[in-house]
Amino acid sequence: MSEVSNVDAAINKSFNDLIYRLTGTNDLSTIKQIAPSVKLKKDFLVSYEPINIYDKSFLVTRFNKKSLLEKLDSLKIPIIGYNRPTVMLK
């Protein structure tokens, strides 16, 4: 797999994770309403930076909060919260 496709996959996953944290859903149809392709997901991207932690590579992404919240609002997709935990326990 090329480095570009690895970056695209990481951006895609990061965007999907962010939508899950904001809305509580990881339903693909909801995500496709917001941004149906990786290219459109990148429109919300402000920056990304590769980092290494203990010899493992990670990609830190930053998305445009204002434009993403406006998009969710225009689609009438409710927002659960900004500080939603990555793992939820029952």
What's the pLDDT band for 75 if we cut at 50, 70, 90? very high
Asked whether residue 28 carries a pLDDT value surpassing 60, the answer given is yes
d(CA 76, CA 54): 42
Structure tokens at 27: 């339903």
Structure tokens given for 43: 């429109």
35-73 burial, b at 16+ Cβ within 10 Å, e below that, comes to beeeeebbebeeeeeeeeeeeeeeeebebeeeebeebbe
pTM for this prediction: 0.79
- Lookup: tokens for 77: 């997709």
